[in-house]
Amino acid sequence: MNHTKMQRLLSAFVDHELSETEAKVVREHVEGCSLCQRRIVELGSIRARIRAAATADLPDNFVYTVQRSIRRDQLESVIWLGPERFARNIVAALCVLVFAVVAFGSVLKPQQPLGEERYLSGEPTDSAAHAVLGSQRTISKEDVMFAALSQ
């Protein structure tokens, strides 16, 4: 096995990531190869130095700082939802209002037959009532009856 391939194996060997067969091959090679022995020492040294360089630490009250951040995050979520909830309520209120106006209007409006139906049934039209009563007044049902009798 050439050295480049062996060096690849060495990397996985120090991590205990080789199969038993591969590990055996590497062990046998390393026993007689000072270059690979030195390589293993270097790999161990890299690991030790990285661990030694991991010197960052957090303040003792870090967990409380995190809890504060979480509360702030939750509060921001509520504030963010506020306008959205307000807009949703406004739209719902407007829908209810429109429905109520339409429904109320349809209840209040008197159901009069169409002019054509009234004509066919012999009932005088509003124009006939106007002719009798003049156009300045609002025409009521009684006015129409009066106009019919007058005719």
Partner 1 sequence: MEPQRDDFKLIEAFRKGDDKAFEEIVRRYQRQVANIIYLTLGNREEVDDLSQEVFVRVFRSLDRFEFDSSLYSWIYRIAVNLCIDEIRKKKIRKLIPLDFLTERKLESEKHSKETATGSDELLHKEKKEVIRAALDKLSPIHRTVILLREYQDLSYGEIAKTLHISPQAVKSRIFRAREELRELLKDYFQERT
Radius of gyration of the chain (CA): 48
d(CA 15, CA 9): 10
Q: List residues binding partner 1 (CB under 8 A).
A: 7-8, 11-12, 15, 17, 38, 42-43, 45-47, 49-59, 62-63, 65-67, 69-70, 73
Q: How far is the CB of 23 from partner 1 (least distance, A)?
A: 14
- Of 6 and 129, the one with the shorter C-beta distance to partner 1 is 6
Of the pair 53, 108, the CB lying nearest partner 1 is at 53
Of 9 and 133, which CB lies nearer to partner 1 in the complex structure?
9
Q: CB of 32: closest distance to partner 1 in angstroms?
A: 19
User: For residue 111, how many other CB atoms are within 10 A of its CB?
Assistant: 5
3-state secondary structure of 53: helix
Least CB distance from residue 46 to partner 1, whole Å?
5
What are the helix (H) ranges across the chain?
A: 3-14, 20-31, 34-53, 62-108, 115-120, 126-133, 141-150
